[in-house]
Amino acid sequence: MRRVITAGIAGLLSIGLLAGPVAAQDDGLDRIDLPNGWAPEGITTDGQRLFAGSLADGAIWQADPLTGEGAVLAPGAEGRVAAGIEHDAYGRLWAAGGPTGEVRAYDAATGELLATYTAEAGFLNDVAATTEAVYVTDSFLPQILVIPLGEAGALPDADAATALPLSGELVFGEGFNVNGIVAHPAGLIAVHSGEGTLYRVDPATGVSSQIDSGDVSLAGGDGLELDGDTLYVLRNTSNLVVALQLDAAAESATLLAEITSEDFDVPTTMALVGEHLWAVNARFGTEVTPGTEYWITRIDAVDAEG
């Protein structure tokens, strides 16, 4: 499964390059090693710990960003996949199951599997969680999977997941389409990997509107991270993080910075802890073997750079 998933994703991702990126500073712990053969794609944080999922078997790794020490939080299982993952306000981790059509909820403290939701899907890729619902992008089908939460964030029944059809300006084509997603006061924000464009999506209707980012290239856009009005877009095969400033209505975005690191090897998603972004390196295009090395790279967020 590792080789099939990794090779399939690598073949579908767009490649783009930007000239003159700013190199990340090296002023402390800047790398955390994952277990060999881990095949990561998603990463998230509770503000204290980092969590990285595995495409190989759906396992979740936790690590301390201060010391780099880590361990398996949730074990994997044959047939499982963890693509994008997200930590919610109720102390849970959500993992998108890629081609399996599964979305799993875990206790972030113990790693206990709390619930599994299934749906007809193409490739469930990335996750955004609010206090009211969990939203999962489907990179092959024009829909967002929605899992509504009950009072005080209670988990719904196993059949509660529904597909929200996407409409409006966002158009699906061949290959990977919608990828990373974050929740914003103006709605959901998603990136179209193939087009390199951003969209604002109404979480109630699925109607989408393109966000004007001018001539900034976001080709191969993968994971998104939102910090106030700063939106980070990770361009995976370009080994580049693009920092944008959103207006209040999330209708336009202007370039703040382009950040890279010599330690990047096809980073896919990132998590913000304090003044640093931690990006997990999926290394798409590198054969996945039990001995293949994987790691998480730290870069400075734009505020930390001044």
| Selection from 226, 243, 229, 241 nearest residue 280 by Cα | 241
Confidence of residue 25 (pLDDT cuts 50, 70, 90): very low
pTM: 0.91
Give me the architecture of the 2-305 domain, per CATH: 6 Propeller (2.120)
pLDDT of residue 303: 72
Give me the mean pLDDT over the 64-86 stretch. 97
pLDDT digits (tens, 9 = 90+) for 241-294: 999 999 999 999 999 999 999 999 999 999 999 999 999 999 999 999 999 999
Any idea where the domains of the chain sit in the sequence? 2-305
Spatial separation of the C-alpha atoms in residues 179 and 230, rounded to whole Å: 18
Q: Which two tokens stand for residue 129?
A: 């969680």
Residue 132 has pLDDT above 70, yes or no: yes
